[in-house]
Amino acid sequence: MITLQDVSKRYSRLNAVSGINWNVQEGEWWGVIGPNGSGKSTLLHLLSGVETPSNGSIKLDDREVSSYSRKELARIVAVLQQEGLAPTDFTVREVIEMGRYPFQDWLGREKNDSGPLLDRIIRKLELESLESRRLDQLSGGQRQRAALGKVMAQEPTILLLDEPTTYLDIRYQLQFMNMVAEWRNEAGITVISVLHDLNLASQFCDRLLVLKDGEIAGEGVPSELLTEDFIRHVFRVDPAVVMHPENGAPQVLLTANRGT
């Protein structure tokens, strides 16, 4: 459903990504990993139509991304960033309702009442007690849950996440990932997530795309891809990779250099 052919993006003289060939099937959950500056965010910007490729073709459902109008694209693709929502004085319910904009006319009206959908999302994300609270009165983890609610209200078929758990503590990281997993299982959406946490990527993603210096350094299922040698090569650290005792997923352990 997403096909990239020889895609490059150049900023003045720097190739942020180059020569990307990549196929994403409907319903897959991909993790995009790689060092800082390897082109992960650029790749998501190209998929969401925020940036246009300098070279190559990006197709969604056999149509070039650039041929979609903004509103058309917003009915298919939703994007959530590190800090999905700024701490404004809108309430949780108001911002979740803003997710409906691709379905509203120019007066902000929608054909069908979105109330029941918003109620369902608020219940699913356990935001009932917070729905009238202003965003600037929430913790980072609560605000990121509201941000997830907004993209759920958008009812996309493709969800793009750019380091969505960076500012969350471990409980909220796990909660966030589980909520995405549940949504994906129920709605069959396709998820592409840039993740720094290789251990979460290993457990949640079906497949990983690894970028290094703007190029694909590898792709495949976590259990085959995440080896000590490969991680050393891509990230330039010397890790120990062990199997998760409960599910067998490769888990990456870092070793402190304590000078002994």
* Distance of closest approach, residue 15 Cβ to ligand ADP, in angstroms: 8
Query: Which residue in 13, 36, 69, 129 binds ligand ADP (CB under 6 A)?
Result: 36
* Residue 11 binds ligand ADP (CB under 6 A): yes
- Total residues found in the chain within this entry: 260
| Cα 29 from Cα 204, distance rounded (Å) | 8
Span near ligand ADP by CB under 6 A; candidates 38-46, 79-87, 94-102, 225-233: 38-46
Number of residues that bind Mg ion (CB under 5 A): 2
- Three-state SS string across the chain, please? CEEEEEEEEEECCEEEEEEEEEEECCCCEEEEECCCCCCHHHHHHHHCCCCCCCEEEEEECCEEHHHCCHHHHHCCEEEECCCCCCCCCCEHHHHHHHCCHHHECCCCCECCCCHHHHHHHHHHCCCHHHCCCEHHHCCHHHHHHHHHHHHHHCCCCEEEEECCCCCCCHHHHHHHHHHHHHHHHHHCCEEEEECCCHHHHHHHCCEEEEEECCEEEEEECHHHHCCHHHHHHHHCCCCEEEECCCCCCEEEECCCCCCC
Q: How far apart are CA 129 and CA 187, in angstroms?
A: 25
Residue 40 or 93: the one with the smaller Cβ distance to ligand ADP is 40
State the nearest-atom distance from the C-beta of 44 to ligand ADP, in Å. 8
Q: Is 40 in the site for ligand ADP (CB under 6 A)?
A: yes
For residue 12, the minimal CB distance to ligand ADP (Å) is: 7
Q: Does 203 bind ligand ADP (CB under 6 A)?
A: no
Closest residue by beta carbon to Mg ion: 41
Establish if 53 lies at the interface with ligand ADP (CB under 6 A): no
Q: Interface with ligand ADP includes 7 (CB under 6 A)?
A: no
* Binding of ligand ADP by 39 (CB under 6 A): yes
Residue 145 makes contact with ligand ADP by CB under 6 A: no
41 makes contact with Mg ion (CB under 5 A):
yes
Contact range with ligand ADP by CB under 6 A, out of 39-47, 83-91, 171-179, 231-239: 39-47
d(CA 88, CA 150): 14
# of chain residues touching ligand ADP (CB under 6 A):
11
Selected binder of ligand ADP within 37, 87, 115, 188 (CB under 6 A): 37
Q: Which residues bind ligand ADP (CB under 6 A)?
A: 11, 14, 16, 34, 36-42
What is the contact surface with Mg ion in residues (CB under 5 A)? 40-41
